[in-house]
Amino acid sequence: MNWKGKIIIIIHLIILSGCLKDAVPEIKEYPVIKILKPTHIDSSGITLNAEYINHGSEKTIAFGFVWDTEKPDILNSDTTIISYQPEIKTYSIRLRDGFIKGYAYKVQAFAYTENNVVYSNTIDFKSLGSQYCPWQQLLNYNFRGIYYSFGYGYGMSNNKCGYILFSHMGDFYELNMIDNIIIKKQNFPNSNRQSFGLVATLNIDNNLYFICAKSKIFWQYSNDAWHNLGQRPDFNFSSGIIGFSVNGKGYFGTGSELYEYNEETGFWISKKPIPTSKVYSSAIINEGVYVIGANKEVFKSDSILDNWSYVSDYPGILEGQLIGFSLKEKAYFGLNYASGFVVNRFIWEYDPKKNSWNRLCIFPRYKLYQSNITLFTIDGKAYFGVPLSDFGSFQLFEFNPDKLIQKN
Which of 5-9, 48-52, 199-203 is least confident? 5-9
Backbone angles phi, psi at 397, to 5 degrees: -120, 145
Instruction: Assess contact for 58 and 52: CB atoms under 8 A.
Output: no
Q: What residue ranges define each of the domains in the chain, with the CATH number in brackets?
A: 32-126 (2.60.40.10), 135-407 (2.120.10.80)
Q: How far apart are CA 206 and CA 403, in angstroms?
A: 27
Q: What stretches of 43-143 adopt beta strand conformation (E)?
A: 45-54, 60-68, 78-82, 90-95, 104-113, 117-119, 123-126, 135-142
Angle made by CA atoms 237, 213, 242, in degrees to the nearest 5: 55
Backbone angles phi, psi at 293, to 5 degrees: -115, -165
Higher pLDDT pick, 183 / 108: 108
Instruction: Assess contact for 71 and 129: CB atoms under 8 A.
Output: no
Q: Is the pLDDT of residue 171 over 90?
A: no
Per-residue confidence at 211, pLDDT binned at 50, 70, 90? very high
Q: What stretches of 232-360 adopt beta strand conformation (E)?
A: 242-246, 249-253, 258-262, 268-271, 279-285, 288-293, 297-301, 309-313, 323-327, 330-334, 337-339, 342-343, 347-351, 356-359
Segment 189-198, tens digit of pLDDT: 876 655 567 7
Mean of pLDDT values over 275-280: 94
Share of the chain above pLDDT 90, in %: 58
Q: How far apart are CA 64 and CA 158, in angstroms?
A: 43
Q: How many CB atoms lie within 10 A of CB 41?
A: 16
Q: Is the pLDDT of residue 11 over 50?
A: no
Q: Is the pLDDT of residue 233 over 90?
A: yes
Segment 324-377, tens digit of pLDDT: 999 999 999 998 866 655 678 899 999 999 999 999 988 888 666 666 788 999
Mean of pLDDT values over 205-211: 95
State the burial class of residue 320 (Cβ atoms within 10 Å of its Cβ: 0-12, 13-18, 19+).
Answer: middle
Instruction: Assess contact for 119 and 154: CB atoms under 8 A.
Output: no
